[in-house]
Amino acid sequence: MTSIPTSSLEQNTPEGAAMPADTTKPPKPKRQRFRFLANGKAATGIVILGIYILFAIIGPWVAPYDPGARSNDLIQPPSAAHWFGTTHLGQDVFSQVLVGCRTVVMVGFLAGVVASILSVLIGVTAGYLGGATDDGLSALSNVFLVIPALPLIIIITSVLESANDLLVALVIGFTSWAWNARVLRAQTLSLRRRDYVEASRATGEKTWRIILFEILPNLTAVIASGFVGTVIFAVLSEITLAFIGVTSNTTWNWGTILFWAQGQQALAQGAWWWFVPAGLAIAFLGTALSLVNFAIDEFVSPRLRSAGKTKVKTASGRTVRMRVGFTPVLEAPAHADARPVPSINPHGATPVHRKETAR
Amino acid sequence: MTTSEPVLEIRNLNVDYGLGPQAVHAVRDVSLTLHRGEVLGLAGESGSGKSTLAYGMTRLLAPPGAISGGSVIYHPADGEPYDVLSLSDNDLRGFRWAETAIVFQGAMNSLNPVHKISTQLNDVLQAHDPKMSAHARNARCREMLKLVGISPDRMEAYPHQLSGGMRQRVMIGMALILQPQVVIMDEPTTALDVVMQRQILGQLIELRERLGFSVIFITHDLSLLVEFSDRIAIMYGGRIVEEAPATALYKDSLHPYSEGLLGSFPALRGPRRELAGIPGSPPDLKAMPTGCSFHPRCPKAFDPCAETIPALGHPDTPDGGTRSVACWLHPVREPVG
Amino acid sequence: MTLSHDTEAPASEVVLEAVGLTKHFPVRRNLRSLMSRTSSAVHAVDDVHLALRRGRVVALVGESGSGKSTVARLLAQLYPRTDGDIKLHGASTTVKGGRAFRQYATRVQMVFQDPFASLNPVHTIRYHLTRALRIHQHAGSDTAELERALHELLDRVALTPPERYLDKFPHELSGGQRQRVAIARALAANPEALLADEPVSMLDVSIRLGVLNLLRDLKERFNLAILYITHDIASARYFADETMVMYAGRMVEAGDSETVTQSPAHPYTRLLIDSAPDPDRIENMASDSTDRGNGEPPSLIHPPAGCRFHPRCPMAMPRCTTDLPTPIEIGDKPGHWAACWLYDEATVAAQPPGSAAATGAGGETAPQPATAAPSTGEAR
Amino acid sequence: MKYLLQRIAFYVFTAWAAITLNFFIPRMVPGDPVQSLITKFQGQMSTQAINSLYVLFGLDNDKGIWGQYLDYWKQLFHGDLGLSFTFFPTPVSEVISGSIAWTLALVGITTVISFFLGTGLGVLAGWRRGSWTDGLLPVTTFLSSVPYFWLGLIAIYLLTGPGSFFPSSGGFTPGLVPAWDQYFIPSAIKHSLLPAATILISSVSGWILSMRNMMVTVASEDYITVAHAKGLSDRRVALSYAARNALLPNVSGFALSLGFIVGGTLLVEIVFSYPGLGFQLFLALGAKDYPLMQGIFLVITISVLVANLLADIAYLLLDPRTRKEG
Amino acid sequence: ACSDSPNANKQNNSGAARSFLTVGMPNGTQPENNNPFVGTSSANALGYKWMIYEPLLMWNPVKPAEPAKPWLASEVKWADDYKSVDITVRDNATWSDGEKLTAEDVAYTYNLLKSNDALNFHAISFGDITQDGNHVKMTFPSSQFVYQNKILANYVIVPKHVWEKISDPATDTNKNPVGSGPYTLKSYTAQGATLAVRDGGYWQDLPQVKELRYTSYSNNDTQSTALANGECEWSFVFIPNYKQVFVAKDPEHHKVWAPGVLGIHGLYINTTKKPFDDPTLRQAMNMVINRTDIFNQAEAGYFHPEIKSVTGLPTPAGDAYISADYKGKTFSVDVAGAKSMLTGAGYTMDGDTLKDKSGKPVTIKLSDPGPWSDYQTTLEIIKSNLAQIGIKATVEKPNQDVWDANIQKGSFEASMRWTNGGATPWDLYQTVMDGALMKPIGTAAQQGNFGRFDSPEATAALKQYANAADDAGRTAALATIEKIFVEQAPMLPVGADNVGAAYNDKYWTGWPSDSDPYAGQQPTQPYALDVVLHLKPANS
Ligand SMILES: Nc1ncnc2c1ncn2[C@@H]1O[C@H](COP(=O)(O)OP(=O)(O)OP(=O)(O)O)[C@@H](O)[C@H]1O
Ligand SMILES: Nc1ncnc2c1ncn2[C@@H]1O[C@H](COP(=O)(O)OP(=O)(O)OP(=O)(O)O)[C@@H](O)[C@H]1O
Ligand SMILES: [Mg+2]
Ligand SMILES: [Mg+2]
């Protein structure tokens, strides 16, 4: 073998034996951006969420009636004219649900964004910087954790005279970041001494860039699930507040519908159509968000992105389950040369009990 | 120590990652026989499928790994041989550790961080012999720890309280606690300095002498293999390309890849010699070259190499009966498997 | 493609120097010791002196956990040091962060031990390298230039064709490929000193050889000063100009690589060299495979007094248990020293070597040193 | 020692900050307890009563807010929480002690059950990924997203009524006196079934989800494969190896959720007319009953802090690695 | 478990005739407090204080003009100027601890009120209180005509020998109440109180209900559910669509009675805000409010009986007070009339929008706290009513505290609110129009005149009514008051307070009704005792 002191290993390839993988133009990196949607759950979630967002945007325009308009059809069950029936004032429940969608979605997402930003700012900063900053910020988030959120929201919304949706969203956002901040801080603590963070520091990255581009992407799953959790929490809070009549919002949301329905004892009156749709609408929104959450983990981690399904069909049509500890054997072993394999005797000092005869 | 009696026969084993067209064939058509009492070294390019082979034959590969063909015949000390791959889950559980134990690549992650060493040792005994008394179990655990040179008073320690070397030895002790016939060790010493490495291996060899189990030893460190194992198998691109007694392989390797490997490691002692690497880069498992997967890098490649995959067989050499190779340069007398 | 024993590089300028470098990691106590007032620390690195010169490679070997990586990180100023000094071109430097740290980073780069951990799993190779280039203003002014720089980098570490790797995520690469990416990232800064922490540990021997060749080439072409940390002493012999041996946080021996590997002076070095597997002496293995290296590495929280190796040393003398050995010139080759009382003639005269040696575990007898002046382990 | 002192100092500081906030925030609300009382009784209380109420509540002598703050701390140090306005002149401590047992019994037990049930199901769902348990997730997600007052009201509508087994409200049959006897206990249990089920249904899925996710993560750890390789039974691997390790985050979540028992159940108590503390807090908010609010906030603050401390300790006990790092 | 369990006798009451009555109020959890003078006590909130303690007189608000029945007082004589009263105390009443009830106790009680502002929750200014044998004589600095029932029928008498030992009667929770009523407190739990009938010694026949079980429900919903389920037999609570929610559940026994009284609910208008300072505009608004809709849709057809008389006085309680001018004059929706009245006064209709004299569109903000759903519904209806004359109304739902502050400080445009109530129309008119209560905008007017209605005439007439020496003077004053109220429309009356209840006569009959309105029916008011005394087992 000749000795060629060069820097490149590859140059040394014996001529004529070119490497197929090297000479062919590498395939365009195909990042399956929408792989995410291949996941059934995530796709369902996205679709439902899409519908909600669509209605949040167009709801007020497509609503068949003015949600507050009285009519003479008092407490009517669902009909062609009123899909979800009417209220004690003859208002159209369907229109109320449609129109209410906007504030619910708006408040939920705004609060989610506010809380997520705060929790990231405070949690990650505390975790990454450590020291006195950490102590201070941790104490702050502990205080916010200790203050009961719902009462605080009630108090704050009552201090602010004309509490509109925006305000409610902000208040919810400002009072519900602490839990996530805690989680993020713990997570950051474990990340900040990771080699790749140290490595990018050693490369000469600036601190803000390290936080933003090295640490944050690895927290995406946590942030996302925190965000989803906060959105659900915010929606539930908003609706609860409206339901108990604390918020003074004059606009419609599903909590307002439930407030009226409950104030008029809709269920006891037999007017289930007044009470049920809004609750279901909330539940489906929450479900959609959770479903999306399931897939976020996979989506943000390049490693998990390639992880396969759990159940697979083999060529011969059998279904095998991919599971840890028991690698599936895809083909039923049928070896012409396999020796006959009789049942096994327990052996030696370590008895092995087997019920079944191996084939 | 070594007999010619087989204890584990791997036949035409194929292991894939993923399914269908996406599948990566990480182990292809591997046939390998482990004899009673021998240390079989497994070396090869990184990514050539050594770990996959080790986990595949015990069905321990994590998803998306799947076994797509072949059989693993186990010969118990007494009784008839059987195919490990077709055992039911329950039988497989009984088989594991009692017959074949594995020391995994990273000792750090092999021990459950929240359980004491004693618990983890005890677990094995309890699972395989529920009737054993607690006292007897405890005695056995102590014995095992002593055997691997860990003072039994460390029984109640948690894994993080032990050094890497100690953890490694705990794993070795655990692997031997049921006196299995086969111990598979996957790069058990890569992270350790040579002193520690030698210490552990020395103990292992000594134990083998006493207990008579067989070892499959996976490592990149060829010199270590030559020193410690009876036979060495070299893997490349998911296949076994050569298999021979350790000294025979070291002195006179037949496959150009083995030659390349042996020519690449620097010697610590003796005059400095020229090191020749293997040119080219490892094959892409997804786009394997046709024919012999080593041919694009092989300095001796000739016509058939690019076309047909050479079969592993006993070569036509004087010691051909004890070794096998898969290379067109060496006409095969008799195929293996 | 060869690692040839090339001609001695001219003794040249010191780029980076460690003077009495010390690092103690405070340990958090457990519940029980919460109550006691003692605060303890891991003595990871104690009083380490080391100099990296232009165009030369210094190998750092030693047992695992002896503080090699810590030395590298200290030199990269990733850890604040407990004591000692780091001199860059003779000037004492302490940088904690901010601009000064980044300035330092352009001159001293580090390759981390574990390429699985040191590449951010969410970023592509392109991102990693682009950042490195950008930070050190080697990215050029437009995308074409950047692309060229990226290609050049990957070419340098023999990841060709570059397009095949640029857009991959770390987990899609093999260990060896990652290690090369890590090296490429360090090279992007065009540093003066490269701290390479076990850069080839995960590679099979053939690839390992390729990477070392690359480093050697770079060293020669760019006059790089390299610190090469490894467990593979044989590669240190071939690749490094100078080899230093660490044990339990302390330097125990240093000298010209060939000398240190062929005629080790310190008992620990000898143990290390003897332990290294060598296929050429298989025949002798059976006889002495059992009697080496017994005993545990010492606790670094409560390191042994005197020489830290004395509990395991077959030739320990009473003095070894009390007095910290100072570096003593061996005299066979210039610059070869060992921190061992065996080379202090006065001590050896007063106290026979081995007189304080611990009897090996399992009643094994310690190997008898042939002479006080240790023989070089010439290949048998 | 220093560590312990640091922790204690940290908790003391947090407690101080939270209590201070709890003092000031309610007082930022416009209006005062007397007006709230009058509006609460909408016409049933004449406006002439205003003066007598100011005198009664001791609000007639003006003290600056700082003076009140100091007084509050003075009171606290004497273990005195003051007199409630809404239930004047009942001492706050009496109001709280009267209802806290109900909250603890209903929500406490339910939280514990929910945690164990959810964690158990989560273990199952994570371990048997790809089996029927996958169907569990959408269902529980759906249930957890339902506002629980809504669920409770539907339950009341569907399941209670004349002749139904389930009572619609209250903690026990009116006329009974709390006592450990064969009349009261069954009655109390019967009354707690629906509210408990409501809380359970809407909270259990959180535990299921987090446990499942942790299980999935842990299942890919090497030591799980090793456990399988050891030939341990599936149960043993699932419980002693996977679940045991996956449990850690859930445990700290659980400890914190214990802290939120008091504050978090307002609506169940309202909907089912359950005589608990959450509802008291709601009333106190509406009535601007500062002493009662502060008292309940204090209980919440202390319970959250204690829960935090417990979480710290639980972690220390459960994860030997943290024991090393503190 | 154990035989001495306090619940031992509780379970076997299903077979024989029912001996207990379940009473509920939607007041939330109540800690035990039996102090009858403290409005916040559980005894007051649930109303059981009226079963333990008794007043001197029993007054029936359903027939306010009728004199109150003697109760602990066997006779009451007011001076003509209503500045003093002479009370004869009944001599056959005993306290539940066996002591005799004497005039000394009565004098003690009133002296307690006099010397204790905190207990004197009707803010009565007492003069001298003297006792002489079984007589008690009280004097007052001013005429107490309008307050007479508050003084004698609303304060209960407490035993001197018990209360003189109490150090601070205002903060005592009176854990062992000793009263003259037919019931004693048997047990108290967080959910409510249980009262047992006395063994004897009551000055009248003991009631047939042996046990009263009071439960405090968390809110209206739970209370009405309990009523509908039959768990609770008697309560005063707003039940939406009560016919379906409550009555239909057991039409034979589930009943609601809701007589109106002299206290009303209406839309207060801030008379300082332009253009609502113009009585014409207010009157026009008054003309378009659809009170029937409000009654049926917002008040469930019963809760706030519809006000028909233009004087704002409810029928039948107020019938006797309607002045001759307005007898028979009732509200009716008259959109056209309102419009023409407005255009006549210089307003213009621009399409659907009403413009005031300066040409600005007339808009109004209606506000009430969100949780008051009947008011909210009322506002919604008013909003659409006002739209008919081109007034664009918006409904706001400020937080209750904010609303409260706004109302008192006069920073509102219009809001539904209640008035005080009493034995005469004086209380309700005073709340709306009394200039003496008026405060400048921005200063809290706590007692009334929230709309800042500035009418010296009205103020004078109110004062005259309260202090008049004879009926003629009162009638004249009232006529003036009503005239101002009708013509200036400072507040648009909508519904009356009711003193009825929702009840269940499956086990107990004898409840007051339209045919026999012997008392009001709220379980928390003084007459509750009178009601209980009338109850008889249904199957007897
Ligand atoms: N989850 C996976 N999906 C796809 N390919 C995989 C996966 N895991 C491993 N592989 C591929 O399978 C091949 C064999 O891997 P294996 O771990 O057996 O190699 P090895 O010989 O043990 O290498 P090393 O010496 O580095 O441990 C590798 O090329 C690797 O890229
Ligand atoms: N951050 C830290 N905190 C506490 N102790 C540490 C820390 N980092 C390293 N140590 C300890 O310092 C000692 C030296 O560690 P170091 O990583 O430098 O060893 P090394 O020589 O690089 O070992 P290896 O060959 O295994 O990489 C070890 O005992 C280690 O446990
Ligand atoms: Mg491997
Ligand atoms: Mg290291």
Token pair for B171: 């794993």
CA distance B319 to chain A (A): 26
Amino acid at E240: P
Bridge partners, residue B25, by sequence: B16
Residue whose pair of structure tokens reads 């519900």 in the numeric block:
A176
Residue written as token pair 């007084």: D71
Half-sphere exposure of A25 (CA within 13 A, CB side): 3
Q: Look at ligand 1, atom 17, and give the residue with the nearest C-alpha.
A: B51
Count the Cβ atoms, other than its own, within 10 Å of residue A227. 23
CA of C65 to the centre of ligand 4 (A): 7
pLDDT in tens, A140-170: 888 888 777 677 777 777 666 565 778 888 8
User: For ligand 1, is residue B51 a contact (CB within 6 Å)?
Assistant: yes
The kind and range of the H/E element at B94 are: helix B89-95
CA distance A205 to chain D (A): 29
Closest ligand (CA of C171) = 1
Closest chain A residue to E382, measured at CA: A70
Is the distance from CB of A184 to CB of A219 less than 8 angstroms?
Answer: yes
CB contacts of B274 in chain A (<8 Å) are: 3
- The reply to whether residue B166 touches residue C296, judged by beta carbons under 8 angstroms, is yes
**Type of residue numbered C41:** A
**Which residue of D225, D231, D240 is in closest CB contact with B62?**
D225
Quote the CA–CA distance of C344 and C334 in Å, as a whole number.
17
Beta-carbon contacts below 8 Å between A and D: 144
CA atoms of B232 and E454, how far apart (whole Å)? 110
Yes or no, beta carbons of B114 and D222 under 8 Å apart: no
Residue D253: what pLDDT? 78
pLDDT at C8 over 90: no
Q: Is C113 in the pocket of ligand 2 (CB under 6 A)?
A: yes
Residue D120 has phi, psi (to 5 degrees) of: -60, -50
Identify the pLDDT of residue A305: 57
- Give the atom of ligand 1 at the shortest distance from the alpha carbon of B50: 21
The CATH topology of domain B6-99+180-335 is Rossmann fold (3.40.50)
- Give the model confidence (pLDDT) of A194-212 as tens digits: 788 888 888 888 888 888 8
Contact A322 B66 (CB under 8 A): yes
The 8 Å CB, 24+ separation contacts for D189-193 are D190/D165, D190/D166, D191/D167, D191/D274, D192/D105, D192/D106, D193/D166
Which residue has the least CA distance to atom 29 on ligand 1? B47
The H or E element that residue E266 is part of is: strand E260-269
Q: Chain C 85-114, CB below 8 Å of chain A: which residues? A: 97, 101-102, 105-106, 109-110, 112-114
Integer Cα distance of E309 and E331 in angstroms: 6
Q: What are phi and psi of D236, to 5 degrees?
A: -60, -45
- What mean pLDDT is reported for chain B? 84
Amino acid sitting at position B64? P
Query: Of residues C60 and D216, which shows the higher confidence score?
Result: C60
- Contact at CB, A3 and C2, closer than 8 angstroms: yes
Alpha carbon of B46 to ligand 1 centroid (Å):
8
List the single residue in D36, D161, D270 with the smallest CB-CB distance to E229: D161
**What percentage of residues in chain E have a pLDDT greater than 70?**
97
- Examine the pLDDT at C360 and tell me if it is beyond 70: no
Mean pLDDT throughout A266-283?
88
pLDDT for D283 beyond 90: no
D288: left (phi over 0), alpha (psi -120 to 50) or beta: left
> Over 60: is that where the pLDDT of C321 sits?
yes
Nearest CA in chain A to D281: A151
Write phi, then psi, for C170 (nearest 5 degrees). Answer: -50, -40
Encode pLDDT of B181-236 as tens digits. 999 988 777 667 788 788 778 888 888 888 888 999 998 888 888 888 899 999 99
The length of chain E in residues reads 540
Delimit the domains of chain B by residue range. Answer: 6-99+180-335, 111-179
Chain A residues in contact with B277 (beta carbon < 8 A): 9, 12
Sorting pLDDT into bands at 50, 70 and 90, what band is A25?
very low
Lowest mean pLDDT among D209-223, E233-247, E526-540: D209-223
Residue nearest atom 28 in ligand 2 by C-alpha distance: C65
- Residue D65 in any domain: the answer is no
Query: Does ligand 1 lie within 6 Å of residue B47's CB atom?
Result: yes
Average pLDDT for chain E: 89
Which residue lies with its CA nearest to atom 30 of ligand 1?
B47
- B84: distance to nearest CA of chain D, Å? 13
HSE, CB side, 13 Å, CA atoms: give it for residue C22. 10
pLDDT of A357 over the 60 cut? no
pLDDT at B198: 82
**pLDDT higher than threshold 60 for residue A1:** no
Question: Residue D167 above 90 pLDDT?
Answer: no
Q: How far apart are CA B224 and CA C274, in angstroms?
A: 13
DSSP β-ladder status, E501-504 and E254-257: antiparallel
Taking only residues 182 to 211 of chain C, the set having a beta carbon closer than 8 angstroms to any beta carbon of chain B reads 201-210
Beta bridge partner(s), residue A197 = none
Closest ligand 1 atom to Cα of B52: 18
Domain membership of residue D133 as a residue range: 100-286
Chains with 3+ CB–CB pairs under 8 A to B are: A, C, D
Tell me how close the Cα of A111 comes to any Cα of chain E, in angstroms.
Answer: 21
- Within this chain, domains C14-26+40-231 and C246-360 share the same CATH topology: yes
Contact at 8 Å (CB) between C83 and C22?
yes
Residue A43: count other Cβ atoms within 10 Å of its Cβ: 16
- Is D188 a residue whose pLDDT tops 80? yes
| HSE-up of residue D224 (Cα within 13 Å, Cβ side) | 23
CB nearest to D324's CB, from C30, C35, C37: C30
Measured between beta carbons, the chain B residues lying within 8 angstroms of A12 are: 277, 279-280
Query: Residue B222: which residues within 8 A CB-CB, separation 6 or more?
Result: B43, B250, B261, B262, B265, C205, C279
Longest dimension (CA), chain E: 83
User: What is the pTM (predicted TM-score) of this model?
Assistant: 0.81
Q: At what angle do helices E373-387 and A254-263 cross, to 10 degrees?
A: 110
The residue in chain E having the minimum alpha-carbon distance to the alpha carbon of residue D101 is E190
Higher pLDDT, B15 or C348: B15
| Ligand 3: centre distance to CA B105 (Å) | 7
Q: Which of A294-303, A350-359, E516-525 has the highest mean pLDDT?
A: E516-525
Please report how many Cα atoms fall inside a 13 Å half-sphere around the Cα of residue E323, on the Cβ side.
21
Ligand nearest, relative to CA of residue B235: 1
Domain boundaries, chain C: 14-26+40-231, 246-360
What pLDDT is attached to residue C363? 36
For C14-26+40-231, the fitting CATH number among 3.40.50.1980, 3.40.50.300, 3.90.76.10, 3.90.180.10 is 3.40.50.300
Task: Give a yes or no: residue D123 inside a domain.
Answer: yes
Summarised one tens digit per residue, pLDDT across range B244-287 is 998 888 888 889 999 888 888 787 777 777 777 787 777 777 77
Rounded Cα distance between E15 and E17, Å, is 7
In 3-state terms, what secondary structure has residue B218? strand
Q: Do chains E and C touch (3 or more CB pairs under 8 A)?
A: no
Mean pLDDT within A107-127: 90
Distance C298 CA to ligand 3 centre (A): 30
Whose alpha carbon is nearest atom 14 of ligand 2?
C67
Indicate the SS3 state at residue E493.
strand
Three-class DSSP category at A350: strand
* CATH code, domain carrying D197: 1.10.3720.10
Contact check, Cβ <8 Å, B222/C205: yes
Work out how many domains chain D is built from and give that number: 1
**At a CB cut-off of 8 Å and minimum separation 6, what does E196 contact?**
E183, E184, E186, E210, E211
Residue E22 has a pLDDT of: 93
Q: Is domain C246-360 annotated with CATH 3.40.50.300?
A: yes
- The answer, yes or no, to whether any atom of ligand 1 lies below 6 A from the CB of B17, is yes
What are the CA-CA distances from residue C297 to residues B192, B193, C42, E264 (Å)?
12, 11, 13, 92
C65 in contact with ligand 2, CB cutoff 6 A = yes
Is residue E42 a contact partner of residue E31, using CB atoms and an 8 Å limit? Answer: yes
Kindly report the nearest CA distance between residue E174 and chain A, in angstroms.
32
Q: Which of C21, C22, C28, C42 to mutate to test the pocket of ligand 2 (most atoms within 8 A of CB)?
A: C42
More confident residue, D238 or E4: D238
* Mean predicted confidence (pLDDT) in E85-104: 93
pLDDT value at E285 more than 80:
yes
Rounded to 5°, the CA angle A26-A30-A34 comes to: 175
Q: How confident is the model over D113-159, as pLDDT tens digits?
A: 999 998 998 888 888 776 677 677 778 878 888 888 888 888 888 88
Choose the mutation target among E154, E191, E432 for the interface with D, i.e. most D CBs under 10 Å. E191
DSSP E31-46: -----TT-TTSHHHHH
Q: Which residues of C touch B156 (CB under 8 A)?
A: none
